[in-house]
Structure 1
């Protein structure tokens, strides 16, 4: 149900709205009339196109999706997934510009980034899904990390030597009580539980396998000396592909066209489409410029283009190629091999 909203005069001099196209700006103003009293609405381009562009058949849901992406990039709306698994959006500066008298309760889930503490339409209060997810999130180090790993035993302190006491026995001989000889034994008793470090390690030293290549294993794409393995070549980005397209054009395309192509190119790269297929689609688009939304179809054509023409089997490679009917005087002699 559409609602009466307020549009301030400053909206037409807003720098944020100036970053998007005129169609995206109209979509933004239309969302003001469709959003609920908390600035939330369904993130469905088909629904929004039917509500905001009913008499403009040329502005399809594909164009509305581009409008929403422009508004999200400019920070005017926030697109999120609610606790019920569906896609929603809300106007970021809603409460700054809209003063709602007696707002109704919302039926849409809250945004986990901006409205986590506000009322959730699905949970009828604070979002329980967000609360449970935050409560189950481990914080800090686990309990097992409090124990430090045991390292090599530190050497015990040097034995303390005691002075030698000499006393005469009845037979006139001197008995020597050497405390230094007994000190190591007493020290050994006090260091119970500590094992001395063995001189030889029980594990054999690791050696290189037969198929191991010599040299450094660090990937260094800037080194000109052989160092074992080499770093893979970096894949081109969306900016690189758009730079090749602009360089191939006779005149620089408008900024809106380049921006639209850049968003589609980035989306195709994120889907895993090979850069050479996207490059082929851009070449087709440069040869036959249309609306930027057809770039996806041209990339698909570059990916799945089949070779034209039929190939003669190798078993009959000695036969000449097909010739058009030339009305010879003797058809049997002229087409003997093919007849």
Structure 2
């Protein structure tokens, strides 16, 4: 994928590019748009020809190969064979002239001669570069990967020692001489296994105790709500009723009062209304009284709240007004008597 690259003013006075022909210089500048963010590209004259010279018939693939040879001889590009066996080239002075913001990782192999960067094939330092090194370098990573010797015998080896009928042949490099075997004490056929209590995984006990003392709960934990009676400010010892169970119970009483089982849609709507009334802290007795009245008159389930309200606020034949006093006569409308002075003498 082509990218936008910069061309510095000193390019036109470069002594390196002055050693090559003008078409080779155009190939050099054109391939900067197609090289990756680390200045690497495939070294193939046919590919370079199709990227830089697709509209020029006077330039052939052989000419492009000659351009690459000129650039490599002048030191403008470096041609190499990657660790995957393919040919590539890169710009040795790429990072001196191209400032790329957030460069992407290269997918191409690094040059084993002059690029200490990440290899796109090896996903790190190129193994080919390490192979070309004159002397091997011992690094901390090599020391870390060295085989470690454990003081404790492997569990599989102990299990093998417990089988006297199947002796384990020793390797040739570790064979003990016959004289040494005669002097060495005999090994028990059935060695005692290591007790489980004596096996450790390397952990040690703390020298000092924890500064925080262990907490102990005064009472055992129990499921359910810890609020005994939500409707009272003083605990009475009664558990709050479950709204879902109470709703099913009230709906079941309503179904029992009906001659035929109502439709499920009616029962579902009725259950939602009952659950809403119970959530408003309305006593179940009032909801039950409203359901009995609803079973008599039937209708839409939305009528249930008004029937529950009648069961809650019924006071004899009528409703009581705020500040109602039964001993005070009711208000009488103003009239125009013939003798107003005698009729309203006390009030006047």
Q: Same fold (TM over 0.5)?
A: no
What's the TM-score bracket when you normalise by the shorter of the two chains? Answer: 0.3 to 0.5
* TM-score of the pair, normalised by structure 1: 0.39
* TM-score of the pair, normalised by structure 2: 0.38
Q: Which has the larger radius of gyration?
A: 2
